[in-house]
Amino acid sequence: MTNKQKGILCAILGPVLWGVSGNVAEYLFDQPGIRPDWLVAVRMLGAGTLLMAISLATKRPQLVALTHDRSAWVHSMLFGLCGVFVSQFTYFSAVAASNAPTTTVLQALGPVLIILYLALRNRQWPPRLDVLCVVIAFAGIILLVTHGHLGSLALTPQGLFWGIGAGVGAALYTLMPGQLLIHYSTDLVLAWAMLAAGIANVPVLFLQPWPALTALDVAGIAYVTIGGTLLAYLLYVSSLRYLRPTTVGMLGVFEPLTAAVVSVVFFHLRFGGAEILGGVLILSVTFLQTLPVRTKLPRRVESSH
C-alpha cells in the first residue's frame, strides 16, 4: 500500500468513526438517564486521560515543555473549556434534540461562521467565493429545517438551536488553538484540552444520578469515547502525514454520509428530496473552500467531535 493510499484510508476511516459515534450517541440518548452533559463528561474525561497517557509515553519532553510554558498551558485550558467542551456539548445536545445526520450537516456550517467572523474582525468584505459559500449554506439550512415547506419548521426549535450551536462550536474549535499549533503538535494540545474539559465536567457525574447502564449501553459509551474520539482522532492525524489538509477536509464528507446510512439502516430514518438537497448544499461549502482563491483559515485541529 502506498503512502497516499494509507492517507486516504485513514482520512476516510476517521470520519466514518465520527459518523457512527453520532448514531451511537443517538441510541444512548434514548435510554433512561443518559443525558448529553453526562455523556460529554464521561467522553472527555476518558478520551483526555487516554490521550494524555499516550502523549506521556511517546512525547514526554514536548509535553513537559508545554506544561512549563505558562501562557501555552493556560491557552490549552481555555481551548479545552471554550473550544472542546462547547463543540462537544452543542453537538451531542443537537443529536439528542434531532438526529445524527442532521447534526453533522449543521456542524459543517463551521467554515461559513469563520468566514463571517474574519470579515467582521478585519472589517473587510470577504472574497466573492466566500460570499457564495455563505449564500449556498444559508439556502441549504432553509431546505434542511423546512423540508422545502417554507411556511413551517420541520426541525424542532431545539434541534435547530443546538445544530447551529454545533457549527459555532466547530468554528471556535478551529479558531482558538491557532497560536498554540505554531509551537506545539496537535496531539499535545488536544490532550491537555480534552483532559481539562473532562476534569471541569466531573461535577456533572456526581450532581445527577447515574443511569442504570446495560452491557450494550457500556459498549456504546466505550465506543463513543475510544472509537469515536481517540481512534478517530489518531486516524485523522495520521492521514495528514500523507495527504494535503484540503484533501483530508474533502474526505470529511464521509462523516455525515456514514451517519445518514446508519440512520436509514438501523433507525429507519427517511430523507426527502429537500433535506438531501439542503445537506448537499451545506456540505458543498467544504469543497468550495478547497479552491485556490479563498479566505485563509486557521490550521484545523480535527473534526470537532
pLDDT for the residue numbered 295: 45
Is residue 294 predicted with pLDDT exceeding 60? no
Instruction: Summarize pLDDT for 78-96 with one digit per residue, the tens.
Output: 999 999 999 999 999 999 9
Q: How far apart are CA 294 and CA 195, in angstroms?
A: 34
- Most confidently modeled range among 44-48, 146-150, 174-178, 241-245: 44-48
- Evaluated on CA atoms 9, 15, 16, 18, the torsion sign reads positive
Residue 305 CB neighbour total at 10 angstroms: 28
pLDDT for the residue numbered 61: 93
Residues 134-146: what's their mean pLDDT? 85
pLDDT for the residue numbered 303: 60
DSSP 118-139: HHHHHT-PPPHHHHHHHHHHHH
pTM: 0.87
Half-sphere exposure of 207 (CA within 13 A, CB side): 8
pLDDT for the residue numbered 53: 94
Half-sphere exposure of 302 (CA within 13 A, CB side): 29
By C-alpha distance, which of 302, 177, 176, 188 is closest to 251? 302
Q: How far from the centroid of its chain's Cα atoms is residue 170's Cα? A: 6
Which grid cell sits at 211? Answer: 443511569
Which grid cell sits at 11? Answer: 482520512
Q: How far apart are CA 15 and CA 303, in angstroms?
A: 8
Continuous H helices in the chain = 3-29, 36-58, 60-68, 70-78, 85-97, 100-107, 110-122, 128-146, 157-175, 180-183, 186-200, 202-207, 215-222, 232-239, 245-251, 254-266, 273-288
Measure Cα distances from 242 to 9, 11, 85, 106, 252 in Å.
10, 10, 29, 28, 15
